[in-house]
Amino acid sequence: MSDPLNIPSRKEVLSDYQSSGQDFVAVYPIHYHRALLRAHDLMPVELWGPSQYSTTSADAHLQAYTCSVVRCGLSFALDGGLEKARAIIVPHSCDSLQGLGSVFLDFIQPKTPVLTLYVPRGRREMDVEFFARELMALDKSLAKITGKRPSEKMLHSFIDNEQKADSAMEAVLNNRIRIPMSNRQFYELMRTRQYVAAEKFEKLARDTLESMQQDNRTDCSHKLVISGLVPEPAELLSVMDDAGLTVVWDDTACIGRRIYPETDDADPYVRMARSILGAPPDSALGSSVEARLAHLLDLTRNKQAQGVVFWSVKFCEPELFYLPQLSRGLELAGIRTLLLEVDISEPASAQVQTRLEAFAESLT
């Protein structure tokens, strides 16, 4: 399948930012609000790894039982990969990212300012209130760096743009089965949301929707939902393509769990907070097993998926805790499940590829 969209790579986008003098901020996983950065004229560029990046530099600071997303991310920073960023943001997503933020601030102390953001684990009104104040505090920290004081009107305008981009992303996912793209290409497109502007992503998504078929594709022998943190190493997506597996919905923390609902609060901080805390069920937001299971069952039924692949990063406790009860619940409902455990600093092992191929055969 060709790439008529000319999906821009992260490298190209970063190069454009640098040549045009556009400031950017490096953001570690998972939840934050892009609009807040955009209002400060900062482009968020997310750091989910990078995949297959050597962890040697981080090994002097983090134990080997820290997840590879964090170890690769720290290595990349230590090797100078974030020197051109105006700031580094470390949202508090798990114990390992908490540790990363703290090691950055207390010991490594890079020249680039490091900012943290505590994301509450509940969805109560008091969580929204707290998170709004936390976002306000982040806004103040950004103001010290950029010297800008975005107005409420400006914040609302950027929130509107992000909502449109999220809505476009949801539409693309909803129509996945009619989009003639391989899994690999599809994910390249979806993951541009992590480094291009909302307006640019929205256009890419709309162009994709315009090019889709009238009817469902006939080359999808098996439909899948993938669930996890981040679909890396990406070559596994090609293995899925070769095995006739098509991802019809995404429940990863980097994509599907960040399709934030639209909100309309008058206070822009409350609006951003409510939107993030209204995200689909997610381990990093402290969702119950029940909520996550119900969500996965809904997705698989609505998309007529035959299986769920749990794409787990080794040592990622937030994901690992849920798996036995989720798998059991799905299997009871007749949905096949497969657990793939990967270390994103390494290429996909042949064993993992074989398991994926065997899983595809078992669906036949």
Footprint of other proteins (CB under 8 A): 60-63, 65-66, 92, 94-96, 98-103, 105-107, 116, 118, 120-122, 124, 126-127, 129-130, 133-134, 137, 283, 286-290, 314-315, 317-318, 320-325, 327-328
Q: How far is the CB of 59 from other proteins (least distance, A)?
A: 9
Q: How far is the CB of 38 from other proteins (least distance, A)?
A: 24
Phi first, then psi: what are they for 239, rounded to 5°? -60, -40
- Comparison of 134 and 241: residue with beta carbon closer to other proteins: 134
- Comparison of 290 and 361: residue with beta carbon closer to other proteins: 290
Q: How far is the CB of 74 from other proteins (least distance, A)?
A: 10
- Comparison of 288 and 304: residue with beta carbon closer to other proteins: 288
Is 224:307 a contact under the CB 8 Å cutoff?
yes
CA dist., res. 36 & res. 150, Å (int): 9
Torsion of Cα atoms, 156 then 158 then 161 then 167, to 10°: -70
Residue 282: DSSP 8-state: -
Among all chains, which residue has been given the structure tokens 């990212």? 97
- Angstrom CA distances, 175 to 212, 214, 335, stand at 8, 10, 21
Is 261:276 a contact under the CB 8 Å cutoff?
no
Q: How far is the CB of 98 from other proteins (least distance, A)?
A: 5
- Comparison of 50 and 122: residue with beta carbon closer to other proteins: 122
Q: How far is the CB of 120 from other proteins (least distance, A)?
A: 5
Is 312:228 a contact under the CB 8 Å cutoff?
yes
- Comparison of 291 and 363: residue with beta carbon closer to other proteins: 291
Among all chains, which residue has been given the structure tokens 């950027």? 158
Q: How far is the CB of 328 from other proteins (least distance, A)?
A: 8
Residue 196: DSSP 8-state: S
- Comparison of 62 and 173: residue with beta carbon closer to other proteins: 62
Task: Tell me the residue type at 347.
Answer: P
